[in-house]
Amino acid sequence: MTTETTGTAARDGDPRPGGPADSPFIRACRRRPGPHTPVWFMRQAGRSLPEYREIRASVPMLESCRRADLVTEITLQPVRRHGVDAAILFSDIVVPVAAAGIDLDIVPGTGPVVAEPIRSAADVERIRLITRDDVPYVDEAVRQLVVELGDTPLIGFAGAPFTLASYLVEGGPSRTHAKTKALMYGDPELWHALAGRLAEVTLAFLRVQIEAGVSAVQLFDSWAGTLSEADYRRYVLPHSTAVLSGLADDCSGSGRGDRRAEPEQSHAGVPRIHFGVGTAELLGAMGEAGADVVGVDWRTPLDVATGRIGPDKAVQGNLDPCVLLAPWPVVEAEVRRILDQGRAAPGHVFNLGHGVLPETDPEVLTRVVALVHELSSRRADQG
């Protein structure tokens, strides 16, 4: 009932008071005023929390992503503990790729490792298109979470074509992305076939999450910052645009024929966040891909970022995750600076510039949430 009311109302631009579509987070994504600046943290569900480490002690990473009960519990943990303004689904960017038929594992201390890296057109053909039936645990977890979270919005996510392609071509994490770039420059046709296929998988995966009820989505192009703007525009932007604009087509009702769940969900037009690391030179292009919110890492002040992104998009960021390891007065000063610089943007979602580091004291995260709320609502009072 909650989702139905909210979805219908959101489409009409008049969200049900108190529902997820009227939350401070969704309001900021839509550049609407709200009671305070919303805050959540990339990787908030995960390794910094003892209650997470306890669950994972006996369960491998990919298995934990495929058990809806565990996904639901791990996703809720940071919401209970910190009082963040949004939950993000616990999963990994390689989950849909594994569901598409690629043999991979997440190796502790290393990250995703692909058994047979993608190097040829025949390899690209091994990446199947996916439907909800390939990721039933994601559909189920999102539906459970929407009920459990009530008025707190749930963010769905996926990896962007470039970042996914990097893991598939390299076979694992890479500092230089040399094999990926060699393929891109040396065989553009094969590159576009691979990135195009990954865009289709990603779009399908995000649609599953939206139809199950997420309130927003984030596209992670974590490693896009390794490219020049010219190469980003030529080799990556068309594919990320296919994903983000593909979701926008769903809103206008022109994009799809079948597999619609409740109409109000597929019409929800959920806000789209587009994020990468080291993307100072790419911020404008990443916005152009079809984002409502552009994620900014800690290197670019939010007022400067807003100048590059333009006045019709909100920003998300951008506390350096390492600052959370410093004494509290340093953290406090940085939070104040970021809130001040974020006022230049037409909407600001407070976040880190990249994910929470494992060694972060969770109590500092809780204090940051309280401080962001206090400082931003006091400003409204003084209004």
Residues that bind ligand CP3 in the complex, under the rule CB under 6 A? 42-43, 45-47, 61, 88, 90, 92-93, 106, 111-112, 157, 163, 173, 220, 222, 355
Residue (8 or 300) nearer to ligand CP3, CB: 300
SS3 of 204, please? helix
Choosing from 52, 85, 167, 292, the catalytic residue is 167
Q: Count of alpha carbons within 13 Å of 275, Cβ hemisphere only?
A: 26
44 is in an annotated binding site: yes
Asked if residue 225 lies in contact with residue 279, where contact means CB atoms within 8 angstroms, the answer is yes
SS3 of 18, please? coil
- Closest distance to ligand CP3 from the beta carbon of 225 (Å): 11
Residue 292, CA distances (Å) to 17, 44, 267 in order = 22, 22, 16
Q: Which of 262, 369, 243, 178 is nearest to 10 (CA)?
A: 262
257 Cβ contact list (under 8 Å, min separation 6): none
Residue (10 or 227) nearer to ligand CP3, CB: 227
- Closest distance to ligand CP3 from the beta carbon of 355 (Å): 4
- Closest distance to ligand CP3 from the beta carbon of 39 (Å): 13
167 is in an annotated binding site: yes
Q: Is 52 a catalytic residue?
A: no
328 Cβ contact list (under 8 Å, min separation 6): 364, 367
Whose CB is nearest to ligand CP3?
46
Choosing from 11, 31, 92, 320, the catalytic residue is 92
Q: How far apart are CA 168 and CA 166, in angstroms?
A: 5
Residue (61 or 203) nearer to ligand CP3, CB: 61
Choosing from 16, 31, 47, 119, the catalytic residue is 47
Q: Which of 206, 143, 155 is nearest to 25 (CA)?
A: 155
Relative orientation angle of helices 237-252 and 161-170, to the nearest 10 degrees = 130
Paired residues of 275 in beta bridges:
220
- Closest distance to ligand CP3 from the beta carbon of 303 (Å): 24
64 is in an annotated binding site: no
- Closest distance to ligand CP3 from the beta carbon of 111 (Å): 3
222 is in an annotated binding site: yes
Residue (47 or 379) nearer to ligand CP3, CB: 47
Q: Which residue has the tokens 């006022």?
A: 343
Q: Is 47 a catalytic residue?
A: yes
Relative orientation angle of helices 188-212 and 136-149, to the nearest 10 degrees = 40
Q: Is 43 a catalytic residue?
A: yes
Q: Is 167 a catalytic residue?
A: yes
Choosing from 16, 31, 32, 56, the catalytic residue is 56
Choosing from 27, 43, 66, 308, the catalytic residue is 43
- Closest distance to ligand CP3 from the beta carbon of 92 (Å): 4
Residue (111 or 255) nearer to ligand CP3, CB: 111
Residue (46 or 290) nearer to ligand CP3, CB: 46
Q: Is 92 a catalytic residue?
A: yes
Per DSSP, the residues of 314-337 read EEEEEE-GGGGGS-HHHHHHHHHH
Tell me the catalytic residues. Answer: 43, 47, 56, 92, 167
Known binding-site residue numbers for substrate = 43-47, 92, 167, 222, 354
